[in-house]
Structure 1
């Protein structure tokens, strides 16, 4: 059974979403704030999280960042805010999707199904190997020699996408479309932020590859020791 963690300080929304998802066959864990959510997350196996942004003690952005330190499960942020800046902050904190209140429970369930389907598709794809580097889409792990590295989901997806198409140049808008989806309304600078993080992580760990900036176009992964 798929376990979904719902986090919202509005009891009415919490119960509404919980009842709707339970009827669809999901097992739901409920939390009224970020601290309670972390306690549940550390005790139970959760396959997806639906998180409200505005909460006491720990807001949804912070909670998402905390979850990203431990796991790459899909995250959907719920918020009353509809500003581009807020959405950008949400995606940069590591969320996979963003739903503005008020919303129809059916729309939330559609988005949940789409995210879970996307994750399952990734888990069935092949392993990518570049020199001593292995990118495993079943475990969402990157292995360099004997060292295992866990990445936030979007960093992993970006690395995998580029590594599975070495030497091919992609524009920022193209990468946004493939990694963040057509509905993403944030700034293309998000791509730059994620590329910077990947470079910082791997520049000291391996010489197997480099993510090159193609001036005026975008990015390409160059195989050095393939």
Structure 2
């Protein structure tokens, strides 16, 4: 995995150093910059596989730079994960609306960071090979396209498999129907929001057969959350 280059853009030296160490330990090749001007110079010489971008930066903000990159045909497909201390729902939605592929609210654990990076890289086709996502006794195998609870394999459709993959790599986070449509179905496909509800109901029924219906939770007024915590 050492051929996966990740550009870190973070102005706080301590966080930048921590992110560099975490990514190196995970087998990635990190390149760090303290602000957008330095990051732009790095881009002129190196095309990374993913950008880990702080929302608030001196000069040009991270979210503004992300917006510009996503409008540039040369960088439109370059995955971007925003790092933000902003926890408000409207800020998260704004981050995804400008084209960011994911967001992570500080503070976060190194394990979650690496899981989210790998999930975005898999979706973009930059990370190949069989991997398993494990939560409790749930195992999702992306190579064999299997979802199991204990030793029992669940009969899920391709869409429900992608939905579970997204949920399992983003546990305990609340997502609106629009966000789920963008992340699971894709931004280029027009599908009504109620389609999400239909697949959530099917997923709950399948999980309910194994006593796990409560894993997919409705957050009234916001959307859905996947959590092992009641």
Task: State the TM bucket, normalised to the shorter chain.
Answer: 0.5 to 0.7
Cα distance, 1:121–1:5 mapped onto 2, change above 3 Å: closer
2:123 is matched with which residue: 118, 127, 131? 118
- CA RMSD, aligned part only? 3.4
Partner of 1:46: 48
Normalising by structure 1, we get a TM-score of 0.56
Q: Which runs of 5+ in 1 are unaligned?
A: 124-173, 199-210, 219-226
Q: What number of residue pairs does the alignment pair up?
A: 153
Corresponding residue for residue 34 of structure 1: 36
Partner of 2:156: none
Q: Deviations over 1:12-32 (max 9, x none)?
A: 010001011112221111011
Task: Give how far 1:79 is off.
Answer: 0.6
Please, which of 93, 99, 106 is the counterpart of residue 98 of structure 2?
93
- Partners of 2:36 and 2:60 within 8 A in 1: yes
| Runs of 4+ displaced beyond 3 Å | 181-192, 211-214
> Unaligned stretches of 5+ in structure 2?
129-158, 196-230
Aligned to 1:83: 88
C-alpha separation in 2, matches of 1:45 and 1:60: 18
1:18 paired residue among 20, 34, 39: 20
Contact 1:77-1:95 at 8 Å conserved across structures: yes
Contact 2:56/2:62 (CA < 8 Å) preserved in 1? yes
Matched, 1:2 2:4: yes
Secondary structure at the aligned position of 1:116 is classed as helix
